[in-house]
Structure 1
Amino acid sequence: MKRVGEFFQNIFKNRMMLLMVLPGALWFLFFSYLPMLGTVIAFKEYRFDRDGFWASIVNSKWVGWQNFKFLFSTNDAYIITRNTLLYNIVFIFLGLILSVLLAVILSEITNKRLSKVYQTGMFLPYFLSWVIVGYFTFSFLSSDRGLLNGVFNSLGIPPIQWYSESKYWPLILVLVYLWKAVGYNSVVYLASIMGIDKSLYEAAMIDGASKMQQIRAITLPMLKPIITIMTLLAIGKIFYADFGLFYQVPRDSGTLYGVTNVIDTYVYRGLKTTGEIGMSAAAGLYQSVVGFTLVMTSNYIVRKFDKDNALF
């Protein structure tokens, strides 16, 4: 009874802090933890149009691993897995380098008002929806009135049918993703740089260190923990693809599926065609389990080399 009393006493004592945490806790409860109960749908022939939303979860026929076979028994299984993995590896690698580089450059701008203008300009693309970005891309790549083909026309170069030729799209998708994400992702690294003790730089300047030497000897080593954490979190989503990027930007062009089809778009098209919600749930569960395994494995490896930089 004493411990129970102390528990409620601590809650009352920290009630204001707990009240501040409540919105975030409720968000995780309703959108992250409660939906876990729905993973049972991945093993059932779920049809809400037959028995209703809730009754179908209980009454639907148990099909075991049948829904998972949709992802692995088709000829597209290799293509969608390859595309999802390779694109995410490139996004993680180039995104990390460019985000850190951008954060370092912003931190070196002495004019704070000018720095705010640059930051706003680089953050803006992140807040645009992929639908808008898709139309921006189309304005550049349209075969009839696209800006690039207009320039090619004026130079006497034959126009390119961008939405029919798949060889250009790996580069296009990478560039569009980096344009949209790098500015926002640099915020975390910029905040970390701002938190570095200024006396370290002053001591380095007294010792005659150049700006590049200061970055190499102070800034980058101090960013190592946050770089490790952000990379580990990104690895956990390596089997997730940004649906808007791979669906809206290529405008769902069938001739580009070889380089734009990923797990998320493949499942969406399958769901739209067959209406099998259990298949979609199976894909989500598969991505979550693989992501969890990768995070745990990566974190274990990091702990072996540097325990302080691991997530847990």
Structure 2
Amino acid sequence: MRRRYRFSKEDLELLLIALPTVVWYILFCYLPMFGIIIAFKQFRPLPDAGFIMSLIKSEFVGFDNFKFLFATPDAWIIFRNTLAYNAVFIVLDIVIPVALAIMISQLHSQKLAKVCQTAMFLPHFLSWVVVSYFVFAFLSVDKGLLNQLYKALGWESVEWYMQPRYWPYILTFLHLWKGMGYGMVVYLASISGIDISLYEAALIDGSTKWQQVKYITLPMLKPIITIMFILSIGHIFTTDFGLFYNIPRNSGPLINVTQTIDVYVYKALMGMNNIGFSSAAAFLQSIFGFITITTANWIVRKIDPNSSLF
């Protein structure tokens, strides 16, 4: 017969430690889910009524708020840009941070390794608003550093904010520059946890550095790489609003290469003052993200059950 479980002192300590996190998730993650109802209503603030009463009395419009995202002539451009940028970001956010983490782990000088790690991690803490002014200082037509350099070399100035063909590369570079430090720290922490005796045994067998990376480091990083890939897939229908809105400085000629779902929803919200549109778009993004992350996890579990997220 199974013994009856008794609540122990250790269980109480663990419960008290977990309680703040549980309360935080309930208050900020689960209770706000009630707001999903806004996506199905024509929300209008009523005079002398609070938010809850205004929401309850607002007209129910069903799926009308969802139609605006697909009825617009720019729907193809919006979804194309969102998926294309994220596909590139997902691949580069794995390849480049892993490569940097491996290179830094091979440095003999710990001081140099810490300096490089700090320098690459620092942009992660900068606001996109601040970064946009840095970019403008480089790309401004009359006072930009690049155009000043072009003039010194006798070349013609480039109107960067009027030339859409440059911006997929600019946005990709800025995304990597700002985010690669965080990913590198994650993979570097995993590398530091690898048993050093594996490298010592490989060194005795006469393996080179590349062979050690290929047959020890990369296989040991496979689980964390897979988890980061699955989590990235879950955000494939969302984009970094600050990157795609602040950096191009809302330039009209760049709309075809910078317009994403989040930027379009923000402009629709500001133009039509209908939060039902933004709620419907966010709800769709959550549904699509849930489908993609579960599908990716299912595929990974079929290939390698030990590397799946759940």
**TM-score interval, smaller chain:** over 0.9
State the partner residue of 2:30: 33
The answer to whether the aligner puts 1:44 opposite 2:41 as a matched pair is yes
The answer to whether the aligner puts 1:14 opposite 2:7 as a matched pair is no
Q: Which has the larger displacement, 24-33 or 53-62?
A: 24-33
Please state how far the C-alpha of 1:33 moved relative to its aligned partner.
Answer: 1.5
Note the alpha carbon deviations across 1:210-234, whole angstroms, 9 max, x for none: 0000000000000001000000000
**2:206 partner SS:** coil
Coordinate RMSD, CA, aligned: 1.5
Please state how far the C-alpha of 1:31 moved relative to its aligned partner.
Answer: 2.3
State the partner residue of 1:75: 73
Question: Counterpart amino acid of 2:34?
Answer: L
- Of 185, 188, 191, 1:187 maps to 185
State the partner residue of 2:221: 223
* Distance in 1 between residues matched to 2:270 and 2:183, nearest whole Å: 33
* Distance in 1 between residues matched to 2:180 and 2:14, nearest whole Å: 33
State the partner residue of 2:195: 197
- Of 288, 291, 295, 1:290 maps to 288
**2:141 partner SS:** coil
Please state how far the C-alpha of 1:35 moved relative to its aligned partner.
Answer: 1.5
CA gap 1:106/1:18 in 2 versus in 1, 3 angstroms: farther
- Of 121, 127, 133, 1:123 maps to 121
Q: Which has the larger displacement, 56-65 or 172-181?
A: 56-65
- Of 176, 189, 210, 2:174 maps to 176
* Distance in 1 between residues matched to 2:14 and 2:110, nearest whole Å: 33
1:21-170 to structure 2, matched below 5 A, reads 21-50=18-47, 51-170=49-168
> Which structure 1 segments of 5+ residues have no match?
none
Please state how far the C-alpha of 1:65 moved relative to its aligned partner.
Answer: 0.6
Question: Counterpart amino acid of 2:19?
Answer: L
* Distance in 1 between residues matched to 2:148 and 2:22, nearest whole Å: 52
Assess if the C-alpha contact under 8 Å between 1:47 and 1:277 holds in 2. no
The number of residues matched between the two structures is: 307
**1:163 partner SS:** helix
1:189-268 to structure 2, matched below 5 A, reads 189-268=187-266
* Distance in 2 between residues matched to 1:90 and 1:154, nearest whole Å: 35
Note the alpha carbon deviations across 1:83-137, whole angstroms, 9 max, x for none: 0000011111011100100110111112212211111111100000000111111
Question: Counterpart amino acid of 1:111?
Answer: S
* Distance in 2 between residues matched to 1:184 and 1:201, nearest whole Å: 26
* Distance in 2 between residues matched to 1:263 and 1:272, nearest whole Å: 14
Percent of aligned pairs sharing the same letter = 54
CA gap 1:22/1:254 in 2 versus in 1, 3 angstroms: farther
State the partner residue of 1:272: 270
TM-score by length of 2: 0.96
**1:14 partner SS:** helix
> Which structure 2 segments of 5+ residues have no match?
none
Please state how far the C-alpha of 1:145 moved relative to its aligned partner.
Answer: 0.6
Note the alpha carbon deviations across 1:177-224, whole angstroms, 9 max, x for none: 000000111111111100001000000000000000000000000000
* Distance in 2 between residues matched to 1:206 and 1:170, nearest whole Å: 47
Question: Counterpart amino acid of 1:144?
Answer: D
* Distance in 2 between residues matched to 1:33 and 1:187, nearest whole Å: 30
Please state how far the C-alpha of 1:53 moved relative to its aligned partner.
Answer: 1.1
